[in-house]
Structure 1
Amino acid sequence: MRSCSYLNKKTPLALLLDYDGTLAAIADNPKNTYMNVDVEKLLNQLAVHPQIFLSIISGRGLRDVQSRIGIKGITYAGNHGLEIESGDGTRHDYPLAAELKNHYAPMVKELIDNVQKNGAWVEDKTVSLTYHYRDVPADVSELQKKLAIRIIESHGYRTSQAHDAIEAKPPVNWHKGKASLLILKDRFGDDWADKIKVIFAGDDNTDEDAMRFLQGSSKTFRVAADPEIQTYADFRLPQQDLVEDLLKWIRKTYSD
């Protein structure tokens, strides 16, 4: 790692990681996405190290990502940071307007009724949702995608592009970047940048918010095979399996 001089075992590390596409390879269906055994072992080792604070920040629903990681006592953020639960069970849920909440269930139903077909499906995450169209035939994919976007936006939710999917999120000024700062401040105080080192790794556009907000006070890694992708990250990992090497480097640094 070119950034090897950044870490030292005497300084605590906050390790903030995305799940899909980062800790686990992207699967055709997110229900089939799992970490490999070696990554799972590394993550469990890092989670119990006294100098390492581990947090998983995912677009999945909070309970979903907790069940997939399966490590107790660490901080999890679900729905791109709209739901945060620390290791002691303390919650931070972004306050959404009642009117917006009332639009959520009708939006899910309208999507299911109109565009959950031809292999597409709606992932209901309670606070936000993802419309997956990876398996939709090319001749109807664009039409379904445009209709899904129109339905989502008609209910007042924002859309953003993901891996063969459309994310639908509440139109609030909150994202993985602000969630990362909240997590760090809650754990280490307002002067966290003077006390710790921070590493963040993610693989898609929603992770760029964290990379942007952590600029200058961390080292960030973008998993991206395409070298043309624009990123705020300090480093690129051209393959998802290189995240395992990143975790091994951290383990070695804090065990030497």
Structure 2
Amino acid sequence: MTRTGLALSALLSLAATPAMAGEAACWFENGVVVVGAEVMGVPGDYILDTASPHTLLAESQAQAAGFADTALTGEVRLAGVAVEGRAIAVADLDMRTGALPTPIAGVIGADVLRAYVLDVSFAPCRVALRPAGQAPRFRTEATLPVTWVADRPVVTATASDGPHTLSGAFTPGTGADTAIRLSDGVASAPGAAKPKELYPYGVLRPRLRALSFAGGLSENLPAGLMKAEDPELAGQIGAPLLSRFRLRFDFPAGKLLLGAP
């Protein structure tokens, strides 16, 4: 078998613990966080993804609930918080959710989360969503500034394939199943036999030489590509890497806090 390397172009359980008030039990499997929630009155298991700009309702779930439109407006309920008047898109999520062992009702994205403080722990898996000023103290090992690109939160990280290095804006994704993905505007995978399989939901996982993130260096990471949706977006840091920490996305304060797991 030929190993495909990822190069920067030209420079470049299911058993959940009981949730406390303000929290929700979740599970972390196949690299994504899944949590019980309700969107448009449809309860179910939802992927919680800070790197997804928009909240989605699965097409099959929407049809079963009697929704004929693909653009909806309604309420999202998560961890005891009700967010009203949200734009909800109906989408076919079969490719994204096929590797998960339970039907997925949709994706809760950054558009719902960005007004709150979001805490994510991976072992045991739990999430909490609270208004600014109501979150408890958080023991922090590193703090990263958060800005927004293409309706996604981003932090600064540095990727390297050895000869080339790229520093830029990477969106941290609790529902992104690969440790690191680079925008295909700045990266390629020379020698890949099936280039489409390098993208989200594909099976190829070439290796990236190194990623510098939050003061630490990770090497030989499973990686992939993502479409170049915005020239300022260098890539995505996925839950397999983020799960090394406890996370606090303090969106109102513009910070990502990382704590010991």
TM-score by length of 1: 0.27
Higher RCO (C-alpha under 8 Å, 6+ residues apart): 2
